[in-house]
Amino acid sequence: MTVLLVDGNSILFRAYYATAGIPGRSIMQTKNGFYTNALYGFVGMLIKTIGTIKPTHILVAFDTKAKTFRHEEFDDYKAQRKPMPEELAMQIPAIKDFLDVMGIKRLEIEGYEGDDIIGTFAKKAKRQNYDVIILSGDKDMLQLVDNNVQVYLTRHGVSELEAFNVDNFYEKMQIYPSQVVDFKALTGDNSDNLPGIRGIGPKTAYQLLAEYETIENLFAHVEQIKGKIKQNIIEDQEISLRTKRLATINCDVDLKEDVATLKRQGFNKQALRQFFERYEFNNMISKIDTIPNVEETKNPPETVETVAKPKVEFSFDEACRYFNQPSFIEVELDHANYHRANVLGLSFLFEEKGFFLEKERLFDEKVVRYLEDQAIKKGTVDSKRLIASLAILGIDVQGIDFDATLGIYCVNPSFVSNSLPTMFSRMIPCDLPENETVYGKKEKYAVPGLEFYAQYSLDKCFYARAVKQPIIDALTSTDQLSLFTEMEIPLAKVLAEMEINGFAIDKKRLVSIGETFKQEIERLRKEIYAQAGTEFNIDSPKQLGQVLFEKLGLDTGRKNKTGYSTAADVLESLAEKHEVPRLVLEYRKYVKLYNTYVTGLIEEIHPDGKVHTIFKQALTLTGRLSSIEPNIQNIPVKTEDGRLIRSAFVPSYDVLVSADYSQIELRILASMAKSAHMIEDFNNGLDLHASTASKINDVPLEEVTKEMRRYAKAVNFGIIYGMSDWGLSETLHITPSQASRFIDKYFAIYPEIKVFLDRIVEEAKQKGYTTTLFNRRRYIPELSSPNFALRKFGERTALNAPIQGTAADIIKRAMVLLHQALKEANLQSKLIAQVHDELVLDVKQEELETVKQIVKEKMEHAAEIGVKLTVDVKSGSDWNM
């Protein structure tokens, strides 16, 4: 049996650029102007490959837009790459639809590249004695070649293939597969923006690897090297090792899918014909009968794929007959942002029948009564989106007892995806089309015909219903069902109301702040020119690098194949040597403040004078909320400029109330570790950082200096994030040995914390996950990785995830309790924002004291953890309190 693993991103890019950008040649497109050149090349290559090797199992792996562990280690990883052309991006959903029509498994996982998924499946497959063929245009894949694995690289766009295997590899490459990453570590890789060792090109790299085999062995024998490259090897050793780490494909991604799930499914010839007709691939229609298909079994098992999906009906009277039954419902909108959208209609899936009612029908008394009936249970794909969209119409949806997105999120946060087909496929077979296929991308959102989107809406209900029992079973087996039903589902309604409430913006004030920032940007620009002695484009890393390292002669600039690095850490190291780097850092700060928090915010203000942010409830791996359009959680709070931005956020009633948990993560750490001294300090209301400083420095509390407290604060918070002696030394500007002694003394004072941290990492290694006090799981596959950097990242994650996750759970519970209390007290004041450990309320003046009392009570008693939770409550005329 043969497994074909396809590098989706590589093939689609090569298919696109095989014809795009050729002078005098237009990009292939349909009569309606939909670009199809990448789609056509991808389809042709895949069909040709299937016909040639006749695989029994196929997977197409894609990258996601999210950053990976490689970006976390190296900020400039792939930084030089240009944004994907719109003409290519619009074709990706169609490519995924083609795979679905063909019955070919596809997969993408946030935090990993498609290469890592392929590497992991290749490792799994060869252990089970499958023959593996990898199809890609990326030479990185060559590191996977072995006795069971061949790599087919595309040539001349995607028109030809070149096979690499153990028999021909050395003859073609002059190195062995195991040396591919060492070769890249020596020469660098422009495509990924990874630097190598200066002065070493391919010829020298071949010679060195022939003699020393690996870079580690080369570095161990560097004294044997002669000539001018010896010093470069010594100086660039760490860079080279980092490049090798980053270039190594992770073959141990935590995949729930086994190789058996990649087994080819038969395709429906009529569906494939319709696909080719839709994109005007007329020459392919005649070839359908020649494409190898999978023989259908006589009695296929009854799965979600073989159970017939109900056909949508539009009869209002017939739908009303079912309005005493539970259902799954889904709203359709004409805009990606539901706060800016018009409702198109609502689908209802009952046990046997499915209906779609257009917007005007939703105001009918029978429909409203059904939707607002708490006793009639309803499920949906995304309850917050549904509740918020209908609330805008004045309909208060009640009775939601199942949310597919939140359920999958609780099963495993990494399963959630913006792609519904991808998300559902983590739990059940799914052939739902991509939302972008139906409506187009955000910038080009277009509503198709009623029957098309109505059926799509009902199909979403179908898959939400199909996934319900697998989710309930999974959450029951992991003791997370109450997390789902008692925390996440009630919270969705709270968040929907918060989004509808919105946060008022003083636009005039914000414009004034923007003018201040623009003046500061201009002042800094002139000062930089004066200090540099020349004018140049400060926003260009290339020009800035030339000024810093060539004109000014600053000596720490290292020039690799992509130019000088002008990242923040480089400029910070240079700031003490010259004014220009310091001024550039300041300049960048104000440019970001202006673009992100002035211009960006103004663009997000709705006609009612408010921003209606979207709280992402199922995004982070720890359980924390995030927000988009705008992201109010990233507004700086500790700087004067950040507080200036906050001052533009104002109440729509009379006053804002801000309630912030005090050192909640440290209180959770004390509770989880059962640290006697720390618990005692918290429960006695002491300043923990001062108390820690007092114990470490053996001085009375009243003699603790600001410097002592600063050191203690750094280690208190650093411990939560797995900070090393080196990390602490960097933070406090002390030597690593001093930092090590500081940490040793800290653990002597709080021995239970050291025991707890060691235990939690060890347990995570054994189980593969950590849990919060509310049983929320964070899976950490990096802990079992053979890659050292990945394992260390996993250990740091294991230290922090239970603590940060528990803090997220507590504030979520507090929000549900507070929302309920405000309703029960018949108060008009309302929750409008959540930012990490802080809640913000819009309050009527006459309700202020009552609200403060309720907020403090509900937040401080949201969870009993054996350590007193303390909340600081403030009020003011704007958010800068």
Domain boundary residue among 501, 532, 551?
Answer: 501
- Residues 562 and 460 both lie in one domain: no
- Cα angle value 392/397/400 (rounded, 5°): 135
Give CA–CA dist 396/372, Å, rounded.
Answer: 6
Give tens-digit pLDDT for 344-353.
999 999 998 9
CA angle 236, 242, 246 (to 5 degrees): 145
Q: What's residue 301's pLDDT? A: 38
| Cα 696 from Cα 692, distance rounded (Å) | 6
| Average pLDDT, integer, range 835-862 | 98
How would residue 306 be classed by pLDDT, with cut points 50, 70 and 90?
very low
- Which amino acid appears at position 489 of this protein? I
Query: Which stretches does DSSP call E strand in 593-676?
Result: 610-611, 614-616, 626-628, 649-650, 655-661
Banded pLDDT at 373 (limits 50, 70, 90): very high
* Better pLDDT: 760 or 297: 760
Question: CB of 612 within 8 A of CB of 339?
Answer: yes
Token digits of residue 587: 């300049």
Q: What pLDDT shows up at residue 442?
A: 66
Are residues 341 and 254 located together in one domain of the fold? Answer: no
Q: Is the confidence at residue 207, as pLDDT, over 80?
A: yes
Looking at the domain assignment, is residue 328 inside a domain?
A: yes
Mean pLDDT of 865-876: 97
Tell me, what's the pLDDT at 429? Answer: 82
Supply the pLDDT for residue 160: 79
Indicate whether 298 pLDDT > 50: no
Q: Give yes or no: residues 54 and 145 share one domain.
A: yes
What is the DSSP code string of 451-498? HHHHHHHHHHHHHHHHHHHHHHHHHHHTT-HHIIIIIIHHHHHHHHHH
Of the candidates 36, 58, 53, the residue with the CA atom closest to the CA atom of residue 103: 58
Tell me how crowded residue 862 is: count the other CB atoms within 10 A of its CB.
Answer: 21
Task: Quote the pLDDT of residue 158.
Answer: 63
Same domain for 67 and 149, yes or no, is yes
Question: How far is CA 397 from each of CA 40, 248, 385, 487, 789, rounded to the nearest angstrom?
Answer: 44, 50, 11, 18, 48
pLDDT-wise least confident of 411-425, 595-609, 830-844 = 411-425
For 425-464, give the DSSP string.
HTTS---PPPHHHHH--GGG-----HHHHHHHHHHHHHHH
Please tell me the least confidently modeled range out of 182-186, 455-459, 462-466, 550-554.
550-554
Residue 159: the pLDDT is 66
Q: What is the CATH number of the domain that holds 468?
A: 3.30.420.10
Q: What percent of the chain has pLDDT over 70?
A: 95
8 A C-beta contact, residue 632 and residue 614: no
Residue 801: CB partners within 8 Å, gap ≥ 6? 621, 622, 770, 772, 778, 780
Res. 211: pLDDT tops 90: no
Average pLDDT over residues 134-154: 92
Among 683, 706, 677, 679, residue whose Cα is nearest residue 693: 706
In a domain, 112, yes or no: yes
Please say if the pLDDT value at position 302 is more than 50: no
**Confidence band (pLDDT; 50, 70, 90) for 21?**
low
Q: Look at residue 558 in the predicted model and tell me its pLDDT.
A: 52
Listed in sequence order, the residues at least 6 apart from 574 whose beta carbon sits closer than 8 Å to its beta carbon are 548, 554, 556, 581
Q: What CATH number does residue 569 fall under?
A: 1.20.1060.10
Element (H, E) at 6: strand 2-7
Residues 417-432 have pLDDT tens digits of 888 988 998 888 888 9
DSSP reduced 3-state for 149 = strand
Q: Is residue 130 part of a domain?
A: yes
Here the tokens at position 284 are: 């392919």
**Structural domain contains residue 220:** no
Average pLDDT of the residues in 630-636: 89
The whole-angstrom separation of Cα 204 and Cα 201 is 6
Is residue 468 located within the same domain as residue 542?
no
Residue 657 pLDDT exceeds 70: yes
Would you state the structure tokens that stand for residue 668, as one six-digit string? 């959770």
**Averaged pLDDT for residues 805-813:** 98
Q: Are 29 and 36 contacting, i.e. CB atoms less than 8 angstroms apart?
A: yes
| Backbone phi, psi, residue 403, to 5° | -130, 110
Q: Residue 359 pLDDT more than 60?
A: yes
Q: Are residues 580 and 462 in the same domain?
A: no
Predicted confidence (pLDDT) per residue in 250-297, tens digit? 998 888 788 989 998 888 888 888 888 888 888 888 788 888 887 533
Cα 797 from Cα 768, distance rounded (Å): 12
Confidence at residue 23, expressed as pLDDT on a 0 to 100 scale: 57
The mean per-residue pLDDT over the stretch 394-399 comes to 98
More confident residue, 789 or 152: 152
**pLDDT above 60 for 303:** no
Q: How far apart are CA 757 and CA 774, in angstroms?
A: 19
Q: Which domain holds residue 132?
A: 2-169+250-261
Is residue 227 pLDDT above 90, yes or no? no
pLDDT on residue 320: 97
Amino acid in the structure at residue 616: K
Number of domains comprising the chain: 3
- Asked if residue 773 is part of any domain, the answer here is no
Residues 416 and 555 both lie in one domain: no
In a domain, 774, yes or no: no
Q: Is the pLDDT of residue 26 over 80?
A: no
Task: Provide the pLDDT for residue 498.
Answer: 98
In this structure, the answer to whether residues 383 and 527 fall within a common structural domain is no
133 DSSP β-pair partners: 4, 150
User: Does the pLDDT at position 3 exceed 90?
Assistant: yes
Secondary structure string (H, E, C) spanning 278-318:
HCCCHHHHCCHHHCCCCCCCCCCCCCCCCCCCCCCECCHHH
Q: Which of 398, 382, 401 is nearest to 481 (CA)?
A: 401
Residue 551 CA to residue 535 CA, distance in Å, equals: 12
Cα dihedral 667→672→677→681 (10° resolution): 20
How would residue 610 be classed by pLDDT, with cut points 50, 70 and 90?
very high
Is the pLDDT at 24 greater than 70? The verdict is no
Q: Which amino acid is at 624?
A: R
Last residue of a domain, one of 236, 261, 286: 261
Length of the chain: 881
Residues 557 and 577 in one domain: yes
Per-residue confidence (pLDDT) for residue 455, from 0 to 100: 96
Do 404 and 542 sit in the same domain of this protein? no
pLDDT of residue 255: 84
Q: How far apart are CA 312 and CA 292, in angstroms?
A: 33
Q: Is residue 761 scored above 70 in pLDDT?
A: yes
Residue 613 in contact with residue 627, Cβ under 8 Å? yes
The answer to the question of residue 7 being in a domain is yes
Question: pLDDT at residue 89 above 80?
Answer: yes
Answer whether 794's CB lies under 8 Å from 780's CB: yes
CATH number at residue 90: 3.40.50.1010
What value does the mean pLDDT of the chain take?
90
DSSP 8-state secondary structure symbol assigned to residue 646: H
pLDDT surpassing 50 at residue 305 = no
Contact by Cβ (8 Å): 53, 161:
no
Does pLDDT of 654 surpass 80?
yes
Same domain membership, residue 478 and residue 422: yes
Are the beta carbons of 632 and 626 closer than 8 angstroms?
no
β-bridge pairing 160-164 and 327-333: unpaired
pLDDT surpassing 50 at residue 321: yes
Q: Is residue 24 in some structural domain?
A: yes
Say if residue 371 is in the same domain as residue 456: yes
Phi, psi of 707, rounded to the nearest 5 degrees: -65, -45
Which strands make up the sheet holding 610-611, listed edge to edge?
610-611, 503-505, 649-650
Q: Mean of the pLDDT values across residues 710-735?
A: 86
Q: State the Cα–Cα distance between residues 821 and 473, nearest whole angstrom.
A: 32
Q: Average pLDDT, stretch 645-667?
A: 97
Last residue of a domain, one of 442, 477, 501: 501
- Give how far the C-alpha of residue 429 lies from the chain's centroid of Cα atoms, to the nearest Å: 24
Higher pLDDT, 624 or 785: 624
Strand 503-505 with 610-611, pairing: antiparallel
Cα-only R_g, the chain: 29
